[in-house]
């Protein structure tokens, strides 16, 4: 394979940004050479000129719902990964629910993997589901554990019929199983019993402000209680856990305290919790409905404090799309809960961080090396380092991006990010040495994405 140079960029390394040239061969980074004194005069070399660009590792989004197979009118791997590539993402982990059927058995896992194998523009891994229905089948879970990136479970109703939530008693079983398999258990942490009680109260409330009622049905307390309970079990059983889409500083403070006591725990939040607040939801309605719901502005600011303190480990989009008609409902209770925005995850996050004067070298790991390290794919992903995949994103800070509806590449063209202006622009996305997105020509026609074999750092085959 022809050698490829990415030259004249400002490259993000473990030591921060430095001017440098990257030599790529066979999809891998062969060397990273500081620009000074390096003669790049070889004839016939393929060169990408990154002048004026930051060169950062390809982003890893560990939390997407691409709904393939079964609900591809909501989204699919083809449209979802196309949008992700345009947003600088080179690897995604697809969640086990919202596809139909949900991934709760080895057969369903392998059928899904076979189905999506030729559909992805970017590399991918697949989550497995631990549910109230599957938790007792220890043999099946053991077989699946060898092929899923990690486990996902809900501590409250998921909204998907074939993905039953795990009760507090069943969560103990899940903790034991994940520990025995040495796998991470990721949790949607809201306390179901309290949600059901409050939902009954506020649905029947004489106050007609349904949006406020929805917010009150899922207060901070239901998230904090679920997080606290899960941390107690993780401490008892020694399980590795990962909390997804945490929305409050109080929950993160509990997680930070548990980390300090030796619990093996990490935490994710999402751009929508960092940009939007409950007032935006009250004005906008279903487009910004999610669970946990958006919080008061003080919680948004609290999350940014946690980022500055280094208490948040990863950022995930939680891209959870649906038909627009499922958002544009008469009653907010009937609207689908999920935010559509995988194309703008990193633009939104980095833009807001820049506006807050938070150094990029502090926050880039939340979408790159931190994710790769936690989910054990750092032998191929997450950094610009010799021997790793040449997954790169070229970014300019002197150009802007407007989230124009006509630029949307996910299947259904709507998003709460519509018409927002971001003070940066993704110029190119490179996957294993191949340009898969260019801001002038768009996303490539070729689908280069491969399934990542868990822990091995290699690309698996269907077995």
Which of 327, 321, 323, 348 has the alpha carbon at shortest distance from 418?
Answer: 348
Has residue 97 been placed in a domain?
yes
Angle at 389 between CA 385 and CA 395, to 5 degrees: 75
Which of 246, 241, 256 has the alpha carbon at shortest distance from 182?
Answer: 241
The residue ranges of DSSP E strands in 356-433, in sequence order, are 392-396, 401-402, 421-422, 425-431
Task: State the average pLDDT over residues 283-290.
Answer: 97
- At residue 167, the pLDDT reads 97
- At residue 208, the pLDDT reads 77
| Local confidence band at 43 (pLDDT 50, 70, 90 cut-offs) | very low
Has residue 451 been placed in a domain?
no
Task: State the average pLDDT over residues 123-136.
Answer: 97
- At residue 453, the pLDDT reads 87
Has residue 150 been placed in a domain?
yes
Task: State the average pLDDT over residues 315-330.
Answer: 97
- At residue 414, the pLDDT reads 96
Has residue 112 been placed in a domain?
yes
Count helices and strands (H / E) in the chain. Answer: 14, 22
CATH number at residue 82: 3.20.20.140
Which of 417, 284, 254 has the alpha carbon at shortest distance from 347?
Answer: 417
Count other C-beta atoms under 10 Å from residue 447's C-beta.
19
Q: Which of 329, 347, 374 marks a domain boundary?
A: 374
Q: Is the pLDDT of residue 168 over 50?
A: yes
Residue 25: both structure tokens together: 């061969």
**Same domain for 50 and 181?**
no
Has residue 212 been placed in a domain?
yes
Q: Summarize pLDDT for 225-282 with one digit per residue, the tens.
A: 999 999 999 999 999 999 999 999 999 999 999 999 999 999 999 999 999 999 999 9
Task: State the average pLDDT over residues 134-145.
Answer: 95
- At residue 294, the pLDDT reads 98
Q: Is the omega angle on the peptide bond into residue 101 within 30 degrees of 0, that is, cis?
A: yes
Q: Is the pLDDT of residue 36 over 60?
A: no
What gap in Å lies between CA 295 and CA 342, rounded to an integer? Answer: 21
Element (H, E) at 292: none
Inter-residue contact 88 to 58 (CB < 8 Å): yes
- At residue 175, the pLDDT reads 98
Please state which of the ranges 291-295, 354-358, 407-411, 452-456 shows the lowest mean pLDDT: 452-456
- At residue 191, the pLDDT reads 98
- At residue 462, the pLDDT reads 42
Has residue 452 been placed in a domain?
no
Q: Summarize pLDDT for 186-238 with one digit per residue, the tens.
A: 999 999 999 999 999 999 887 779 999 999 999 999 999 999 999 999 999 99
**Same domain for 287 and 370?**
yes
**Same domain for 95 and 145?**
yes
Number of domains making up the chain: 2
- 168-181 vs 220-237: helix crossing angle, rounded to 10: 40
Which of 52, 61, 50, 68 has the alpha carbon at shortest distance from 85?
Answer: 61
Query: When comparing pLDDT for 458 and 160, which is higher?
Result: 160
- At residue 381, the pLDDT reads 97
Has residue 449 been placed in a domain?
no
- At residue 204, the pLDDT reads 86
Q: For residue 371, what are the contacts with CB-CB under 8 A and spacing of at least 6?
A: 60, 62, 314, 382
Q: For residue 16, what are the contacts with CB-CB under 8 A and spacing of at least 6?
A: 361
**Same domain for 72 and 43?**
no
| Residue 200 vs residues 39, 111, 192, 221, 412: alpha-carbon distances, Å | 70, 39, 12, 17, 32
What gap in Å lies between CA 326 and CA 321, rounded to an integer? Answer: 10
**Same domain for 118 and 149?**
yes
Has residue 419 been placed in a domain?
yes
3-state secondary structure of 300: helix
Report residue 96: phi and psi, to 5°: -80, -5
Residue 456: both structure tokens together: 């091995």
Q: Is the pLDDT of residue 42 over 60?
A: no
- At residue 456, the pLDDT reads 58
**Same domain for 416 and 342?**
no
Task: State the average pLDDT over residues 161-188.
Answer: 97
Residue 394: both structure tokens together: 């070229």
| Mean pLDDT score across all residues of the chain | 95
Inter-residue contact 124 to 447 (CB < 8 Å): no
- At residue 151, the pLDDT reads 98
Structural domain including 13 reads 4-55+386-443
Count other C-beta atoms under 10 Å from residue 201's C-beta.
12
């Amino acid at each position: 394979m022809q050698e490829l140079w990415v030259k004249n960029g400002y490259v993000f390394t473990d030591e921060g940004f430095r001017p440098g040239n990257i030599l790529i061969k066979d999809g891998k980074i062969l060397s990273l050479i500081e620009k000074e004194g390096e003669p790049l005069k070889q004839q016939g070399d393929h060169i990408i000129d990154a002048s004026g660009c930051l060169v950062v590792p390809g982003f890893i989004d560990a939390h997407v719902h691409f709904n393939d197979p079964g609900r591809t009118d909501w989204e699919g791997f083809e449209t979802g990964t196309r949008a992700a590539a345009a947003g600088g993402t080179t690897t995604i982990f697809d969640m086990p629910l919202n596809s139909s059927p949900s991934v709760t058995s080895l057969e369903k896992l392998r059928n899904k993997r076979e189905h999506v194998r030729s559909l992805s523009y970017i590399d991918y891994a697949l989550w497995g589901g631990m549910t109230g229905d599957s938790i007792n089948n220890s043999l099946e879970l053991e077989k699946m554990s060898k092929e899923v990136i990690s486990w996902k479970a809900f501590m409250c109703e998921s909204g998907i019929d074939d993905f039953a939530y795990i009760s507090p008693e069943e969560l103990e079983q899940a903790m034991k199983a994940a520990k025995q398999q040495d796998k991470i258990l990721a949790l949607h942490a809201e306390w179901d019993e309290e949600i059901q009680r409050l939902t009954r109260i506020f649905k029947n409330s004489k106050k007609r402000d349904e949006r406020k009622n929805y917010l009150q049905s899922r207060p901070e307390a239901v998230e904090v209680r679920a997080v606290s309970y899960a941390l107690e079990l993780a401490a008892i059983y020694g399980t590795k856990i990962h909390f997804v889409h945490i929305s409050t500083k109080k929950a993160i403070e509990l997680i930070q305290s548990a980390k300090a006591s030796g619990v093996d725990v990490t935490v994710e939040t999402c751009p929508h919790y960092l940009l939007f607040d409950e007032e935006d939801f009250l004005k906008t309605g279903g487009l910004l409905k999610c669970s946990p719901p958006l919080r008061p502005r003080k919680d948004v600011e609290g999350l940014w404090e946690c980022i500055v303190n280094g208490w948040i480990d990863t950022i995930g989009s939680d891209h959870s799309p649906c038909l627009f008609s499922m958002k544009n409902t008469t009653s907010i209770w009937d609207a689908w809960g999920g935010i559509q925005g995988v194309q703008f995850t990193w633009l939104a996050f980095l833009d807001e961080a820049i506006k807050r004067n938070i150094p990029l070298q502090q926050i880039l790991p939340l979408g790159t090396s931190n994710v790769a390290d936690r989910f054990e794919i750092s032998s191929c992903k997450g950094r610009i380092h010799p021997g790793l995949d040449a997954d790169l994103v070229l970014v300019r800070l002197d150009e802007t991006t407007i989230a124009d509806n006509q630029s949307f590449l996910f299947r259904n063209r709507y998003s709460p990010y519509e018409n927002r202006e971001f003070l940066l622009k993704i110029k190119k996305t490179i996957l294993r040495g191949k340009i898969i997105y260019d801001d002038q020509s768009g996303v490539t026609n070729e689908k280069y994405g491969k399934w990542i074999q868990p822990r091995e750092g290699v690309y698996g085959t269907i077995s």
